[in-house]
Amino acid sequence: MRNFTLTFSLLLSSVLFLHAGCSSNPYTDRSQFLLISEAQEIQMGEQSYAQMLGDPKIKISKNPAEVDPVQRVAKRIIAAAKRSKYAERAQSFNWAVTVIKDDRTKNAWALPGGKIAFYTGIFPEAKNENGLAAIMGHEVVHALARHGAERMSTNSTAQLGLSVVTIALGMGPVGSELASQAVGLGVLLPFSRSHESEADYIGLLLTAEAGYDPRESVRLWQRMAQSSQGAPPEFLSTHPANETRISDLQKWMPEAMAIFERSNKASVSALPIITSPPPKKKPAPKQH
């Protein structure tokens, strides 16, 4: 039975590799391994966005002071994307922008297909529309560069390869768990960090093309570093360390500034002040 399972797994692995999409990032020339079609990826993005909008716990902001800056920045970033090396993909996306009223959550994302969301809790980190553009440029690149599909493809292949190894070596549950952790540390986490760095680099260029000062990205990550004390070491994180990010951004800055200097400059306003509410108190234990 083990030989049959091993043979089946090897055959399935071969089929997946034969049908894998072969492409490379147009900015970095990095090869991309893709098992998921672009249509499938966009469909998943649409479904995730619809689920978010339908979640009763999610409060969509209607406050112009919060929504208008995000919409202004998005309009310019999307326009820049449509002039970029991702122009064809950006023009095919059905873009939408949502501001989520959640002052505790420092988050933003862009889904395949062009669905962008910003949580109001990230406004203090962004501080102004230049900072907002730095975050948005980064997130939009994740969608344009198909990082989500690449991540899913790599996860699927890693898990399939792991099953082949554990079957071939006759590993028990403990051995399988250790092998799974090794795959996570040795393959999946560094792969995710390469996505983050790629989004930092291309996002910086996109931000400059949109007319926003790319130098704010360094100040943004300096603020992020101050508010993320106690973060895990880089080798255990899916994101580059803040110090690494800042160093890389400074290295890429001359290229971004050359683009910014010839761009149509955006008018920049400060973001509304968001005061994070105190953390929710845990209920006191019942006295017996």
pLDDT in tens, 122-138: 999 999 999 999 999 99
Reference 226, options 118, 100, 124; nearest CA is 124
Structure tokens given for 270: 């400060």
- Residues linked to residue 116 through DSSP beta bridges, in sequence order: 97, 110
pTM comes to 0.78
Which has more confidence, 56 or 168?
A: 56
Structure tokens given for 226: 């101050």
Structure tokens given for 6: 């091993």
Q: How many residues does the chain have?
A: 288
Give the active site residue among 41, 125, 139, 150: 139
Residue type, 256: A
Which has more confidence, 273 or 132?
A: 132
The yes-or-no answer on residue 129 being catalytic is no
Angle at 106 between CA 92 and CA 272, to 5 degrees: 90
pLDDT above 90 for 267: yes
Give the pLDDT confidence of 234-260 residue by residue, as tens digits.
Answer: 545 667 888 999 999 999 999 999 999
Arithmetic mean of pLDDT, 65-83: 98
Residue 156 C-beta-side C-alpha neighbours within 13 Å: 16
Cα(247)–Cα(253) distance, rounded to whole angstroms? 10
Residue 13, pLDDT score = 43
Core vs surface per residue 107-145: b (16+ CB within 10 A) or e: ebbbbbbbbbbbbbbbbbbbbbbbbbbbbbbbbbbbbbb
Lowest mean pLDDT among 150-164, 167-181, 203-217: 167-181
pLDDT above 50 for 189: no
- Residues linked to residue 108 through DSSP beta bridges, in sequence order: 118
Structure tokens given for 276: 């994070």
Backbone phi and psi for residue 99, each to the nearest 5 degrees, phi listed first: -110, 125
Start-end of H helices in 210-286: 216-227, 242-261
Angle at 276 between CA 241 and CA 211, to 5 degrees: 60
